[in-house]
Amino acid sequence: MKLTAEQICSRQDKLKADRGVWETHWQDIADYVLPRKNSFNRTNVAGEKKGVQLYDNTAMVSCDLLASALHGTLTNSATLWFELSAANESIDRLEPVREYLQELTRRVHRVLNNSNFQSEIHEYYLDLCSFGTGTMTVEKNEDTLVRFSVKHLGEIFVAENAAGEIDEVYRVFKWDARQILEEFGKGIDITSKTAVEAAFGRKVSEAFFKNERTPFEIVHAVYRMDFDRTNPMPFWSCYCLKADKKELSEARFRRFPYLVSRWTKISGEVYGRSPAMNALPEAKTLNVMAKTMIIGAQKVVDPAVQMPDDGFVRPLRSGPGGVNYYRAGTTDRVEPIFNDSRIDFGFEALRERQARVQQAFYIDRLNLAQNDRMTTVEVNQRVQEQMRFLGPVLGRQEPEFLRPLIDKVLDMMIEVDDGSGDIIGTPPPELQDIGLEARYSSPIARAQRMQEAQALQSAIASSAPAFQIDPGSVDLIDFEMVVRENFAIYGAPQKVLRKKRDIAEIRDARAAAQEAALKAQELAQGAENLNKVSPLITAGETQLG
């Protein structure tokens, strides 16, 4: 059922109260890992300095490196990191279907690269690695078909359904009166104060006509309208003014317009947990230690000194070129108070803590071991091991982020195409009433499938002795299918493989050539035999004559 503006605001207030403990946790993480987003339980001034209390940036750099690694392995713009397939496996193997789906995959990938996806996705991964929960919206755009926008987690309040899926999002943000009318004032006479007040309330109307920039809280609610899975438009979207509990606009969606995923999640919790949460204790300790080490280094470079009270003429000048006067005949000297400081021990302890923070962000797993004697095979094996190590990341991101992302973009492309074929092409008849699904061919996904390729190669290699004993057993293996499967596992371009009709023509031509060669050989052999027999026939005829 549809919620009223008052019900939406009340629901958002309840979710905010439930989220209070998380906000304190996120604020700590933002302070030490992502300072530019440290506005969960404090109000910041635009343009103010961020991270001024930090003395070590190991956690910040490690989080950025992990986000960059996810960007390069999950959604790299230079590679096709997904492929579309038919829900029916038998139909998916048909050549016209595969050709169309491969072309459609390239079109979807091109739409993503032509939009602002690549600039927004890195910010999404930063939120995921730091706060454990990332939020992004997918909207229509006239120029690029789709537009993506990462939302600050401080604005987002979510709820799960019975299956543990997030299907309810409330976003709270602030706009002034001019922005509100620009977005929601279509069809309203903005020169009429009565019309503006009727649509937006007295406070917004007064602020607009006085040209004030007072911000007003707006709640954007997206929730499931009913629980009927057959409903083609199950999601309801509503914007409302929080202060006046006044609805601004409403819409319905076939797919959930928000993409919300968690790094990992504890049973019973809604929001995700992240590597930054594991690194937070070390990051705090490291920050205190770094500050102490800076003070210690200053003491070593410019130590406190002691001097006799009657041997020198004060003040003491310790700067470059400083001249200090002492009384003639005295043997007293100016000496450091502490001359046995072990600053090197402090730096060793500091490096140990920095290594622990990097381990929490998997930096030690992401960096290849440096060895100038490594072969190409060894390098490839280590890269595959790294990708398999990051496999659990794909396990949650695939259903919560990657698959809904492709489904949403493809839906928008189909809607814009409107049957013309300009955007999605012309699907073959075999795909009528058949659903599509995305399969991921990113380096992580391929690394997880490498075991299949290794098992296939090992099985064929171990069967070689049997092939020598019984050559007929080779017929058990479809080597053409083996080659195609290897190409799919390793992510090699499928376009280099010949089509079945081309293979049939090549085989027919080869068979015809072999048959012609055999006939030519038979004719040559017959001619040779005739040449051998001809003298004997001639001799026999002579004797008979």
Residue 412 lies in a domain: no
Contact 86, 74 (CB under 8 A): no
Domain boundary at 318, 345, 367, which?
367
Residue 159 lies in a domain: no
Task: For the chain, 545 residues long, give each residue's pLDDT as a single digit of tens.
Answer: 788 999 999 999 999 999 989 999 999 999 999 998 888 877 766 767 776 688 899 999 999 999 998 888 888 888 888 888 887 778 877 878 888 888 898 999 999 999 999 999 999 999 999 999 999 999 998 888 999 999 999 999 999 988 889 999 999 999 999 999 999 988 888 888 999 888 888 899 999 999 998 999 999 999 987 776 677 788 999 999 988 888 999 998 888 999 999 999 998 899 999 999 999 999 999 998 888 888 877 777 777 777 777 666 777 777 777 777 777 777 677 777 766 666 677 778 888 889 999 999 988 877 655 555 666 566 556 666 666 666 676 678 888 999 899 999 998 998 888 777 788 888 888 888 777 888 777 666 666 566 677 777 788 888 888 878 888 887 788 777 777 777 766 656 666 777 777 778 888 888 888 888 888 887 887 777 767 666 666 666 666 55
Task: Sort residue 201 into left (φ over 0), alpha (ψ -120 to 50) or beta.
Answer: left
Q: What are phi and psi of 150, to 5 degrees?
A: -85, 130
pLDDT, position 517: 86
Residue 293 lies in a domain: yes
Q: Rounded to whole angstroms, how far apart are CA atoms 245 and 103?
A: 48
Residue 132 lies in a domain: no
Residue 382 corresponds to which tokens in the numbers above?
């280590």
pLDDT, position 316: 76
Residue 75 lies in a domain: no
Residue 352 lies in a domain: yes
Residue 314 lies in a domain: yes
pLDDT, position 505: 81
Domain boundary at 350, 367, 384, which?
367
Residue 345 lies in a domain: yes
This prediction's pTM? 0.79
- Domain that residue 312 falls in: 278-327+336-367
Q: What is the DSSP string of 401-439?
A: IIHHHHHHHHHHHHHHHTTSSTTT----GGGTT--EEEE
Q: Domain total for the chain? A: 2
CA distances from 328 to 166, 318, 331, 335 (A): 84, 20, 9, 18
Summarised one tens digit per residue, pLDDT across range 317-357 is 777 777 777 777 776 777 777 666 666 777 788 888 899 99
Counting DSSP H helices and E strands in the chain, the numbers are: 19, 14
Summarised one tens digit per residue, pLDDT across range 267-297 is 889 999 999 999 999 999 999 888 888 887 7
Q: Which residues, in sequence order, are CB contacts of 442 under 8 Å at separation 6+?
A: 73, 74, 75, 76, 79, 81, 82, 394
Residues across the chain: 545
Contact 388, 65 (CB under 8 A): no
Q: Is the dihedral of CA 412, 414, 420, 422 positive or negative?
A: positive
Q: Please tell me what DSSP assigns to residue 398.
A: I
